Structure 1
Amino acid sequence: MNSETKVVGLMLAAGRASRFGADKRRARLADGRTLLEASLANTAAAFDELLLVLRDGDTVDDLRLPPQVRMLHTPLAERGLGASLAAGAEALSTSPALAMAVLLGDMPWIGRQTCLQLIAEAGPERIVQPHYDGCPGHPVLFGRAFWPALRALDGDEGARAVIRQHADHYQAVQVDDPGVLLDVDHPADLDWHAAPTTPSTCRPTRS
């Protein structure tokens, strides 16, 4: 790891995508990029270090990953999102970074400037989350003081409990970027690239 890296990125892309009905990481957007490729593009431009969490046996040679992306294949992915997050946090535990940004591999519309805005607010004892139109989104940045709690996660809940338990260290950052709310759960969601809009209600944050 680069000793000057302030925030290291952790992208989770190990889910089974049961609601999508296929490997959505390889689904194509209108510009021809795969969903995972697009999700990595802006974030890779903002984070010098980026770890991509995949299932054991996943092959991504055809997905044109940015050069700074490292891969972690973990059998724990079968246990859910929280277990994948814990595996990634464990792999990054020796990083000298001040914070870790938890990103999702099915969110291709988060802007690079949004990531940079969040990075500027990050600190070792802060949990930083973007808000758009009153709704919390992704990525969520966890200062290294909270990494042990991330490493202890399991199952499918993700890090919402960590956020709730440390509300006094939580910082909401208002952003002008609907992409922090928009993910792809179904094939029809791929059309959001044309005119992204805010969901009518805030959905629970997965990470």
Structure 2
Amino acid sequence: MAKLDAVILAAGLSQRMGRNKLLLPFGESTVIGRFLTNFPYGLFAQVIVVIADQAVEEIARSFPVQICRNEHPEEGKSSSIRLGLEAGESQRGILFSVADQPLLTGATIMKLVEVFRNNPSRIVLPKVGGTSASPVIFPADLRIDLQKLQGDEGGRKVIQNHFERKLAVDFSSPDEFYDIDTDDNYQDILRRWKKSH
């Protein structure tokens, strides 16, 4: 069975944080280093990391990924989505993930991919505590819709436009899907992680 592509969005400007959140220390690594260490590369035909920062690129190059540089990150999330789509070739589907979820596990991604393989026309995403989260798998036929996104629009708009195709997979651990937008988020997730180690 043909594999999916994965696009990891790592070109954000971290405006609410005021510094690049992906480079913040996390254990013996960084936020993005830990994320990429946990990523299950073998599940995908290509894993594309969209970056804007040179230091993020240097970390990503230590992993089996294709680097895609976003020269205009100020244009918003949609610009990174388009670049990731252009770099991929999968005719089955594309997983989109954000890079600021350092506790996301390979097992969780594996489960999402398995559900998609059994439901290849659906938009598959995790749900925890009644709330939808990232990463999200889109069938390949929604590429055009994703390419039409503008500004800081993300995949959520495409999900809303094809709500009948949404398939949420329940998970019990909110920590995995906790992403970092502010310094308070960062301190909170560090505390949660340290408690479990």
Task: Calculate the TM-score normalised by the size of structure 1.
Answer: 0.82
Rate the CA distance shift 1:90–1:61 in 2: closer, same or farther, 3 A: closer
Q: Which residue of 2 aligns with 1:151?
A: 147
Rate the CA distance shift 1:194–1:59 in 2: closer, same or farther, 3 A: closer
Q: Is the 8 A contact 1:90 1:151 kept in 2?
A: no
Rate the CA distance shift 1:83–1:9 in 2: closer, same or farther, 3 A: same
Q: Which residue of 2 aligns with 1:91?
A: 87
Provide the aligned C-alpha RMSD in A.
2.1
* Residue among 58, 62, 73 paired with 2:54: 58
Structure 1 residue 193 corresponds to structure 2 residue 187: no
Question: Matched residues in 2 for 1:187 and 1:46: separation?
Answer: 33
Structure 1 residue 78 corresponds to structure 2 residue 74: yes
* Residue among 156, 162, 169 paired with 1:166: 162
SS of the residue corresponding to residue 195 of structure 1 reads helix
Shift of 1:62: 4.2
Question: Matched residues in 1 for 2:6 and 2:137: separation?
Answer: 9
* Residue among 33, 39, 42 paired with 2:35: 39
Rate the CA distance shift 1:81–1:108 in 2: closer, same or farther, 3 A: same
Supply the AA of the counterpart residue of 2:125.
Q
Supply the AA of the counterpart residue of 2:90.
S
Q: Is the 8 A contact 1:129 1:136 kept in 2?
A: yes
Unaligned runs of 5+ in 1: 197-207
Q: Which residue of 1 aligns with 2:4?
A: 7
Q: Is the 8 A contact 1:13 1:53 kept in 2?
A: yes
Shift of 1:181: 3.0
SS of the residue corresponding to residue 185 of structure 1 reads coil
Structure 1 residue 112 corresponds to structure 2 residue 106: yes
Q: Is the 8 A contact 1:109 1:193 kept in 2?
A: no
SS of the residue corresponding to residue 17 of structure 1 reads coil
What percent of counterpart residues are identical? Answer: 26
Per-residue CA shift, 1:12-64, capped at 9, x if unaligned? Answer: 011111111112221101x1211111122222456433100012x63445426
* Residue among 173, 180, 189 paired with 1:184: 180
Greater shift, 111-120 or 76-85, is seen at 76-85
Greater shift, 62-71 or 148-157, is seen at 62-71
Supply the AA of the counterpart residue of 1:100.
I
Question: Matched residues in 1 for 2:42 and 2:126: separation?
Answer: 15
Alignment: residue pair count? 189
Shift of 1:179: 3.4
Supply the AA of the counterpart residue of 1:68.
P
Question: Matched residues in 2 for 1:85 and 1:180: separation?
Answer: 22
Supply the AA of the counterpart residue of 1:131.
K
Q: Which residue of 1 aligns with 2:18?
A: 21
Q: Is the 8 A contact 2:4 2:90 kept in 1?
A: no
More strand as a share of residues: 2
Per-residue CA shift, 1:136-185, capped at 9, x if unaligned? Answer: 11101101111111122120021111101111211011123313430111
SS of the residue corresponding to residue 17 of structure 2 reads coil
Supply the AA of the counterpart residue of 1:23.
N
SS of the residue corresponding to residue 21 of structure 1 reads coil
Supply the AA of the counterpart residue of 2:184.
A
More helix as a share of residues: 2
